[in-house]
Amino acid sequence: MHHRLRSVAAAAALIMACGAAQAQAPIKIGFMGELTGPQAAVGQDQLDGFMLLVERNGGKLGGHPVEILREDTQLKPDVANQAARRLVEREKVSIVTGISFSNIMLAVHKYLTDREVFVIGSNAGPSQIAGPRCSPYQFITSWQGDQASEAVGQYAADKGYKRVVVLAPNYQAGKDTVAGFKRYYKAPLADEVYTSLQQLDFSTELAQAAARQPDAVFAFFPGGLGVSFAKQYAQSGLQKTPLLSTFTIDAISLPVLGESAQGMISGGFWAPDFDNASSRRFVQAFEQRYRRIPSNYAAQSYDAALLLDAAIAKVQGRVADKPAFMAALKQADFASVRGDFRFNNNHFPLQDMHVLQAVKDEQGRMTLKTLATPFHKQPDAYHRQCPLS
SS3 call for 389: coil
Identify the pLDDT of residue 23.
53
SS3 call for 36: coil
- Burial of 49 by CB count in 10 Å (0-12 exposed, 13-18 middle, 19+ buried)? buried
Identify the pLDDT of residue 8.
45
Nearest of 56, 78, 54 to residue 69 by alpha carbon:
54
SS3 call for 361: coil
Domains and CATH numbers, the chain: 27-143+274-343 (3.40.50.2300), 147-268+355-378 (3.40.50.2300)
Dist CA 231 CA 148 (whole Å): 22
Using a CB cutoff of 8 Å and minimum separation of 24, what contacts does 256-263 make? 256/227, 256/231, 257/227, 257/230, 257/231, 257/358, 257/366, 258/366, 259/360, 259/366, 260/230, 260/231, 260/234, 261/230, 261/234, 261/358, 261/366, 262/358, 262/359, 262/360, 262/366, 263/357, 263/358, 263/359
pLDDT tens per residue, the chain (389 residues)? 444 434 444 444 444 444 444 457 999 999 999 999 988 999 999 999 999 999 999 999 999 999 999 999 999 999 999 999 999 999 999 999 999 999 999 999 999 999 999 999 999 999 999 999 999 999 999 999 999 999 999 999 999 999 999 999 999 999 999 999 999 999 999 999 999 988 999 999 999 999 999 999 999 998 889 889 999 998 999 989 999 999 899 999 999 989 989 999 999 999 999 999 999 999 999 999 999 999 999 999 999 999 999 999 999 999 999 999 999 999 999 999 999 999 999 999 999 999 999 999 999 999 999 999 999 999 999 999 999 98
Cβ contacts of 15 within 8 Å, gap of 6 or more: none
- Burial of 167 by CB count in 10 Å (0-12 exposed, 13-18 middle, 19+ buried)? buried
Dist CA 148 CA 308 (whole Å): 24
Dist CA 385 CA 288 (whole Å): 43
**What is the distance in angstroms between the CA of the first residue and the CA of the last residue of the chain?**
62
Dist CA 233 CA 50 (whole Å): 32
Amino acid letter at 11? A
Compute how many other C-beta atoms are within 10 angstroms of the C-beta atom of residue 38. Answer: 17
Alpha-helical regions (H) of 143-237: 147-159, 172-184, 203-211, 224-234
pTM of the complete model: 0.90
Nearest of 377, 375, 381 to residue 155 by alpha carbon:
375
The answer to whether residues 353 and 378 touch, using CB atoms and an 8 Å cutoff, is yes
Mean pLDDT of the chain: 93
